[in-house]
Structures are given as structure tokens and as C-alpha cells.
Amino acid sequence: MIICTLVLCKNVLNMKKGCFNILAPFSAIHDVQVLKDAGVDELYCGYITEDLKNKWPLAFNILNRRGEGSSFDNYAVFKEAISQAYKYNLPVYLTLNGLYTSQQYPLLLSLVNNIQSLPGIKGIIVADIGLLLYLKKSKFKKEIHISTIAGCFNSLTADFYKELGANRVILDRQLTVEEIKDIISRIKSDIDIEILIIRENCGGFIDSLCTFLHCSEQLELNTETIKKNVSLIKAYDTEICDLGCEFYFKKLANGNFETFDSLTELSKPMNLKYDRDKHHGFGCRICDLYDLKEYPIKSLKIVGRGKSSQEISKFVKLLLRVLNNLKQADISKSEFQSKCKALFSKVAFNGKKMCSNFDCYFSNSLVKNEK
């Protein structure tokens, strides 16, 4: 399943020939077979040791960005899953995209040291320059990918990470298709490019620059019944707001609108109100593939921490059909995008509604650049 594209643009002629691999998440041994059968080319996952998660609970998304229940935490199981993937010739990238402090490094580097011997692990996805520097210093032999949490918005940043020893950079999702094309065209190094392609949009903020508490807890409901119709739940975040930013978004519409000079309250301009659907759209940029088909993008990442392999497979199959449509020599942009929207509606919304601009990772209609 790989569509290899010839690079036609003059200014990208010196870059590698591009291939769209499909990269998908997994979190259990049986996921590997399911995703292989669906047609993925590469896999990514989390693995965190008991020692690490006891000190920095997974719910806080500190060790990686996967939350509770989405990372392997048993080495034997993890190793078995990796060897399955290796057997099927599916490279696995380990997500270590936290931002780490000094206290975390001894346990973190011990984990890295342990997984280095696994041939199925092809590389590590990092967000922290400190970890990247440690990996290079310790002569880490596998690939290093720069997570979207590191924030790459321009070609110079991509080249900067290449200088530090990275092999691949994942571009920020809040970039327009024109901006992505421009970044790829101007990159001077041979760093590989990956983009997020579908599933799981953020509420509206930039992954790398958001510092909201995003407590991804798995709550145990009905753990203890105190009395009839009253149950006890234990939680880190007693607000129980599974989307960190949503807590704030909900408050926005009831906030006080103020001007700078007088600090007096304004009547809400233009009757503005919070619309949840416009913040938490599905997350997708498959329509952009028409414009990106000539660009050397190595991999298309399906987002979806903790989702079942059956759920992820639906999107792998959707992507395969999209890429198949892209192969048609005479397909126009509007025809391609209509097909994308129909496919998306069927898979994401069971055909019950069509997508809107707010389901796009980043739509041209939401940004205005002043030239």
C-alpha cells in the first residue's frame, strides 16, 4: 500500500522521493495483527515502567501524552507486541514525548536502554530537546522523531532538529495546506516529514504550546456505594474535566467582555456564544492530500490514543481508499475532496451528517495571513 510520488516542484527536487506511509497507534498485542490486516505501514505506542508511573501518574500526561490505559506498562507484554510487529515487518516508534525534568532522567534513560535491544523498535518520538541531546550523547542507534509537542511551524525549525540528530519531524497540526507545502519546499536538510492526518482534534489550542491540565484519568465508577443512589469516585482532578481546555472554554461565553481603556464591561459583541461543536470537531485533513500528493511526506499519522484497533482500522481503511482515489490520474480536486467528505461522513459520523470546517485540523477559513 504505499503511494510513491515523484517530486515535481523545482524547489523540492533535491529532496527525497516521498512516500505516504500510514502510521497508526496500538496499545495491545492483538492490535498488531488487526492493524496489519487493515493495511498500516508503521505503528506507534507508549511504554512506561511501573517505577516511572508510580512517581508521575500517567493521568497527567507527563511521561508521554497518552494518558491512563493507553501505554504498555508490562515489559513482557510490550516485548511480545513489538516482536509481533517485527515479524510482520511493521516498524514501531515509541512515544516518549513528555517534557522531562532532571529527576525523571535516571528512570527514563534506563527505560530507553532496555528497549534499545528490541529490533522491532525502529525509533523514539521525542518532544524534549534535553532527551534528544541525551540520546545523541549515549550513541542511541535508532531513529529519533520530533513530536508535534515540540512545535514545528517552519522549515528552519525542521532543519534545526535535523542538526540535533533527528530523522523525522511531525509538523504542527495548526498549519494550512499552503503553509505545509511551503515548509517542505524550503527545508534544506533531508529530514523526513510526517503530518497528522485524521482523528482526535484538540479543542482549539496548539499541542506544543498548551499548558492546560489535561488529566486523562480512567475513572472507576461505582467503586463504592455510600448509600442508595450515592456512589464514591476517586479522582486526581475533582473537576473531572476530561478535556483540560474545555473547562475554560465553557467559561468563555459567560465571561466579562472588557475593553482596554475603561475596563468597563461591554455588552457581548455580536451576540457571541460558545459552540462546543466548533471546538471539538473530529480532526481531519484528508482533503489536503490532493495538494500534498507531489510532496515528499513520509508518513500520515492516525491520532487516537487508547482507541481500539477495530476503531483505528476503520480509519486505516478510509485512508487506503483516499490514497487509492489519489492514484486516479484524471481526478479533479473538487471530485477528490467530495469523495473524501463522503468517506469521512460514512466512517466518522455513520453517514448521519457531513463534516464542517470545524472538523478540519486547521482550515484556511479560520486563518488570515497578512502579506
Partner 1 sequence: MKNSIEKAIFTNHFKDVGDIYQRIYFGNEFCENLIPTLGLMKSWVSFAKLKNKELTFVTPFVTNLGIEKLKYLLAFLNKQKSCEVVFNDWGVFKLIRDNFINITPVLGRLLSRQRRDPRLIDIINGRQKIREVYSPKEQEKFVILPKKIPSSLANYYRTCVLGVSAFQQFILSCGINRVEIDNLVWKMRLKLNKRLKVSIYVPFGYVSTTRSCGKLTLTYKPCQKECKDYFIRLGSESLLSNVYAIGNTVFYKNAEPSVGYLKDLGIDRVIYQPRLPF
Min CB(123)–partner 1 separation in Å: 20
Q: Which of residues 341-360 bind partner 1 (CB under 8 A)?
A: 358
Query: With respect to partner 1, which residue has the nearer C-beta, 254 or 350?
Result: 254
Considering only residues 2, 28, 354, 366, which one is a binding residue for partner 1 as defined by CB under 8 A? 366
Binding-site string for partner 1 from residue 249 to residue 288, where x marks contact by CB under 8 A and - marks none = --xxxxxxxxxx-----x--xx-xxxx--xx---------
| Phi–psi pair at 20, nearest 5 degrees | -90, 100
Min CB(132)–partner 1 separation in Å: 9
Question: Which residue type occupies 91?
Answer: P
Q: Which of residues 137-156 bind partner 1 (CB under 8 A)?
A: 137, 151-156
Report the run of H or E that residue 248 belongs to, with start and end. helix 244-252
Min CB(82)–partner 1 separation in Å: 27
Min CB(206)–partner 1 separation in Å: 6
- Rounded Cα distance between 223 and 214, Å, is 23
Provide the Cα torsion 12, 5, 178, 336; round to 10°: 160
Residue from 161, 123, 136, 130 nearest 299 by CA? 123
If one asks whether residue 99 binds partner 1 (CB under 8 A), the answer comes out as yes
Q: Which of residues 32-71 bind partner 1 (CB under 8 A)?
A: 54-57, 60, 62
Min CB(217)–partner 1 separation in Å: 8
Residue 160: half-sphere exposure toward Cβ, Cα within 13 Å:
10
E strands, 59-191, are: 71-72, 92-96, 121-126, 143-146, 168-170
Q: Which residues contact 112 (CB under 8 A, 6 or more apart)?
A: 96, 124, 135, 138, 140
Query: With respect to partner 1, which residue has the nearer C-beta, 81 or 158?
Result: 158
Query: With respect to partner 1, which residue has the nearer C-beta, 33 or 363?
Result: 363
Q: Which residues contact 302 (CB under 8 A, 6 or more apart)?
A: 22, 23, 24, 25, 197, 198, 199, 312, 315, 316, 319
Give the number of residues in contact with partner 1, rule: CB under 8 A.
91
Considering only residues 33, 105, 189, 341, which one is a binding residue for partner 1 as defined by CB under 8 A? 105
Cβ proximity of 189 and 158 under 8 Å: yes
If one asks whether residue 333 binds partner 1 (CB under 8 A), the answer comes out as no
- Rounded Cα distance between 302 and 113, Å, is 28
Min CB(288)–partner 1 separation in Å: 15
Query: With respect to partner 1, which residue has the nearer C-beta, 79 or 279?
Result: 279
Q: Which of residues 154-213 bind partner 1 (CB under 8 A)?
A: 154-161, 163, 174-175, 179, 182-183, 186, 204-206, 209-213
Query: With respect to partner 1, which residue has the nearer C-beta, 84 or 157?
Result: 157
Query: With respect to partner 1, which residue has the nearer C-beta, 89 or 369?
Result: 369
- Rounded Cα distance between 158 and 116, Å, is 25
If one asks whether residue 133 binds partner 1 (CB under 8 A), the answer comes out as yes
Binding-site string for partner 1 from residue 224 to residue 243, where x marks contact by CB under 8 A and - marks none = --x--xxxxxxxxxxxx---
* DSSP secondary structure letter of residue 352: S
Min CB(32)–partner 1 separation in Å: 32
Considering only residues 100, 282, 290, 315, which one is a binding residue for partner 1 as defined by CB under 8 A? 100
Cβ proximity of 309 and 43 under 8 Å: no
Question: Which residue type occupies 262?
Answer: S
Query: With respect to partner 1, which residue has the nearer C-beta, 100 or 344?
Result: 100
29-38 and 309-327 helices cross at what angle (nearest 10)? 20
Query: With respect to partner 1, which residue has the nearer C-beta, 101 or 113?
Result: 101
| Phi–psi pair at 99, nearest 5 degrees | -115, 115
Q: Which of residues 288-317 bind partner 1 (CB under 8 A)?
A: none
